[in-house]
Chains A and B, each alone.
Chain A
Amino acid sequence: MILLLTKVVFSQQYEIFGKIINTKGDPVSGAIINVTPENLHSISTQNGTFKISGLKRGHYKIVISYVGYKIEEQSISIPNTANLVVTLKPSVELLQEVIIEDHHASEKRREESHNIEIVNNQFIEQNLGGSLMQSLRRLPGVSSMDIGAGVSKPVLRGLSFNRVAVAENGIKHEAQQWGADHGLEINQQTISEAEIIKGAASLIYGSDAIGGVINLKSISVPMENTSGGNLLVSAQSVNDQIGSSLNIYGRKTKVYFTTNGSWSDYADYKVPTSVVNIYSYPVQLNNNRMRNTAGQEGSVNLTIGYKTDSLHSNIHLSGYFSKVGFFANAHGLEPINVDRQLHDADKRDIQLPFQEVKHLKANYHIARTGKNHLLRFDLGWQHNLREERGPYINHGYMPETLPDSLGVAETLERKFIKNTVSANLTDQFKIHNHTFQSGVQTSFQKNEIGGWNFIIPEFTQIQSGAFIYDKWKLNEKVLLHSGLRFDIGHINSKEYYDWYKSRILDQETNDTTYENLQRATNLNKTFSNLSYAVGINYNLKHFEGKAHLGKSYRMPTAKELAANGVNFHTFSYDIGNQNLHPEESYQLDVSGEFHYPLWAFQLSPFVNYFPNYIYLNPTPFFDFEHGAGNQIFEYHESEVIRFGGEIHGHYKIMESLKMGVIAEYVFSEQLSGEKKNYTLPFSPPPTLLFSLKYTPNITDKFMGTYFSIDYKLTGKQSRIVPPEFETEGYSLVNLSMGTKLKWNQQWVHFTFRVNNLFDKKYLNNTSYYRLINLPEPGINFSVSVKIPFTF
């Protein structure tokens, strides 16, 4: 509903005041109000109110738009209009995209001192890539570490692996994130909102949030008395991917459910070359396809919930499955006997070597809203199983054939099983102008291993933390933040002996003996840490300024403490270090954003210092004791300084034409240790993206039509560490277009994208396959159609 009032300012000029509220009577902030033909804009405030001044006597059209609601148009005449009441109806096709807490991107950005990006599934739809991170990497400061076309890891301002925490529905996603070929294991079709915090965020999220947080929401609560769903079908040309996703939801008054099933199947991906040089050896590709990189991905989700004004609880069950082939010519210690006939016969089949992942989750969530309190409790169980499958190859002193007595499948190279139980309890309460949030979090995980090849031992880990955080609203413009957190963690990793005997030569007596070598010893370590943060928000009508200073921490992983094995992809022999301390990080983030109806500009620099960054250092030695003959890499600590930031701006050339620019830069340097003055591995090069987006209003039959073009320049990366190579810069052009067409009372979404329009052959410094010189995917056409329905 909109309430309008007019007020005479002086003889000829009038102002209109209004308020925007939703069907429940709650104020809606962040809605966009346009007055035509004057072309005046306003955005509703936190109380839902808005004001437009400078109007003259006459007739106008006022248009209110807001995500989740139908665009509302009203004719007004000044000065006659007063107390006009308009009912805003929720838009059917977006019904289920209304988010639980009713917080909205712009509001949250104004109230958090972190540098934060919030996008919904529409952004994912418009920027659809082969994986969730490939769809999100257009955001400033966000990139992806890709393992082929369909698997990727998140990278925030150059940090990845265990330095980025991923949470789904409030529970930290626990998988095998220490592994280089491990992907995110989350199906992007199920994500309704992604919130990305760049920079230290351990205060609320605990260990691992040292480089930032990707906070995903896959549950959205439907509106009362609605039921429906949508069917999404998508396809991509670069890997002949076809996928579909079906969402169904329903709600009476209090009880609701949402469910989703998705499936995607893709073939070996195409690169703009017929030959790739792996360690100077030319590998011929068949039809430019990366041999054996095909994959499958599927997921099912079910949420059943109960929601009243003061209570919200739900149970969420999900299962994720993926099976993805590794590039056959480049996996393993020795690029294995590649049977080209077998691999090239079918582009869709997945032969050895491949990885298979299963991830099951069960979460219980309850939130109670009291007069001054919001109490939340989350309990989660996760099971992650990851298998690396490959033909048995005897490395070193391993027997020529795998003995049956071992009881391990001949193709099971490595297996990792992780079971995690986690619980979070938080209370948010208000005292005067202070909003406090305090909570306790605990998690327990048990990790088991299998297969004939060893890299990390079995381990159990328990982590607990308690925090308190205060948001103090000093006045309408200034918010002050402060918080304190204490964590304690314990890790217990088990000893491991080789299942085969290695030859030991006694140098003095020249006697030869055979032994099962010990690869890991029993290890018990307890870590504790105090982290803190202070921040400020300074908000004006057209300016948002923020600063955040925080100390974050991360518990060393089992791999960093106790690894002892060959990393097949880097030809390295990784050795853990039992003496590692918890990694600490101090980070200062500053951000300033000007936004006017016609233009906006944001600058967000950061500086980050690690007293003890845990770094995998290449040593000048080879391992031959364990029979592999690979270069030894050891974990050690070094001081690291990092700085950089993002610039983001846009300018409306016309009402329907917007140009934008995004620039990203990160500099890292090790200040001490073996690699003093070197950068960090996988340092992202600077990038500059220009975009142009045209959003015409063609007819009433089409809605949300857009055409956009992105031109992305990526600089050369010459700051590298062994064993990396310099990576040349490149430029890419991506096209994207989409519209919504009214069909059967529903808006059917159509999107079409072209990535790498000119089929450019380029290498990506942060790609997993960079070390063996594999180019990135070539030109890719993708289409998707989303059909909403109600019943």
Chain B
Amino acid sequence: MRISEILIFIVFLVVSLSGCKKNDDTDQTPPTIDISAIDAFPKHCDTLYRGETFTFIATFTDNEGLGSYSLDIHNNFDHHSHTTELQECELWPVQTPINPYFLIEGYEIPNAPQTITTHLEITIPIDIDQGDYHFMIRVVDVNGWQDMKGLSIKIL
């Protein structure tokens, strides 16, 4: 019996010692997207208007430094769901896209700051389909950690 006891002890020792080592020297923290500020825009279930210019305001934060962010606005006429917000917005009936709006752009964040608040002006064309859209925000830090937020919006 003694041998097996020693054996188990060795195993425990090895596993407990080795399992504990953490990545102390590496960044393990993803950036965050904050749209809780009063002036943040758009928020979940907000409405944008065709032919008008709005300012995208959101705060990005990271412990080491921000790399870039991207925006992706595309139609949700088929009611696919990838909002990251828990609250459901009221959707229009399913519609067939004719000239849906979409925007996919990436924006580098120079000098890797730990926090920025965006003030990005975006003009929505006048001739696009009205209806439900998704507004996807992604931010990535200098080490490649990512955060994503998907909002449901309407464009009227």
Contact = CB atoms under 8 A, between A and B. Distances in A.
Contacts of B59: none
A193 B142 CA distance: 48
Contact of A686 (B18, B23, B83): B18
Interface string A357-368: 000000000000
Nearest to B65: A620
Nearest to A598: B3
B8 interface: yes
Contacts of B97: 400
A688 B14 CA distance: 10
A499 interface: no
Interface in A169-188: none
Contact of B4 (A336, A649, A667): A649
Given A629-B106, A663-B15, A720 B144 contact: no
Contacts of B144: 617-620, 631, 633, 675, 722-723
Contacts of A663: 11, 14-15
Contacts of B83: 281
Interface stretch (B44-52, B74-82, B117-125): B74-82
Given A624-B70, A659-B4, A677 B25 contact: yes
A327 to B, nearest CB: 14
A335 B8 CA distance: 46
B25 A665 contact: no
B156 to A, nearest CB: 21
A623 B79 CA distance: 25
Contact of B23 (A618, A624, A677, A716): A677
A336 B18 CA distance: 41
Contacts of B81: 281, 335, 338
Given A599-B3, A723-B145, A622 B70 contact: yes
Residues of A in contact with B, size category: 35 or more
A679 interface: yes
Nearest to B7: A649
B10 A647 contact: yes
A661 interface: yes
Contacts of A400: 97, 100
A685 B80 contact: no
A319 interface: no
Of B12, B145, B148, most A-chain CB atoms within 10 Å: B145
Interface in A124-148: none
B3 A651 contact: yes
Interface string A555-574: 00000000000000001000
Interface in A606-655: 617-624, 627-629, 631, 633, 644, 647, 649, 651
A722 B134 CA distance: 25
B140 interface: yes
B84 interface: yes
Contacts of A722: 30, 143-146
Contact of B11 (A621, A631, A675, A688): A688
Contacts of A729: 19
A621 B4 contact: no
B26 A599 contact: no
Contacts of A716: 19
A685 B12 CA distance: 14
A477 to B, nearest CB: 24
B8 A661 contact: yes
Nearest to A665: B18
B132 interface: no
A647 B19 contact: no
A719 B138 CA distance: 24
A58 interface: no
Contacts of A623: 106
B55 interface: no
Nearest to B74: A334
Contacts of A651: 1, 3-4, 7
Interface in B85-124: 86, 97, 100, 104-106, 108
A622 B68 contact: yes
A445 interface: no
Given A279-B84, A281-B84, A629 B104 contact: yes
A318 interface: no
A647 B30 CA distance: 36
Given A282-B86, A620-B68, A723-B145, A647 B23 contact: no
B22 A718 contact: yes
Nearest to B109: A620
A679 B27 CA distance: 12
B10 A335 contact: no
Nearest to A278: B82
B15 A715 contact: yes
A601 interface: yes
B141 A719 contact: no
A720 B68 CA distance: 22
B28 interface: yes
A507 interface: no
A310 interface: no
A629 B106 CA distance: 7
A678 interface: yes
A720 B23 contact: yes
A663 B21 CA distance: 17
B155 interface: no
B53 to A, nearest CB: 17
B80 A337 contact: yes
B92 to A, nearest CB: 15
Nearest to A280: B84
B67 interface: yes
B72 interface: yes
Contacts of A281: 81-84, 150
A663 B72 CA distance: 47
B40 interface: no
Contact of A667 (B21, B28, B66): B21
B128 interface: no
Interface string A649-689: 10100000001010101010000000101110000011010
Contacts of A715: 15, 19
B26 A677 contact: yes
B19 A629 contact: no
A629 B138 contact: yes
Nearest to B142: A620
A719 B78 contact: no
Interface string A248-280: 000000000000000000000000000000011
Contacts of B25: 677
Contacts of B71: 629
A686 B145 CA distance: 25
Contacts of A396: 104
A716 B72 CA distance: 35
B35 interface: no
Contacts of A677: 23, 25-26
Contacts of A726: 28
Contacts of B104: 396, 624, 627-629
A279 B19 contact: no
Given A620-B68, A688-B15, A279 B148 contact: yes
Closest 10 CB pairs of A and B: A620-B67, A618-B144, A622-B106, A715-B19, A622-B70, A722-B144, A337-B80, A629-B104, A651-B4, A624-B106
21 contacts: A279-B148, A281-B83, A334-B74, A334-B82, A337-B80, A618-B145, A621-B106, A622-B69, A622-B106, A624-B104, A628-B104, A629-B72, A629-B104, A629-B105, A629-B138, A644-B18, A651-B4, A661-B7, A677-B26, A679-B23, A720-B23
Interface of A: 279-282, 334-338, 396, 400, 571, 599, 601, 617-624, 627-629, 631, 633, 644, 647, 649, 651, 659, 661, 663, 665, 667, 675, 677-679, 685-686, 688, 715-716, 718-720, 722-723, 726, 729
Given A335-B81, A651-B1, A719-B23, 17 more contacts: A280-B84, A281-B84, A334-B134, A337-B80, A571-B146, A601-B3, A618-B140, A618-B143, A619-B144, A623-B106, A647-B7, A667-B18, A677-B23, A677-B26, A688-B12, A722-B145, A722-B146
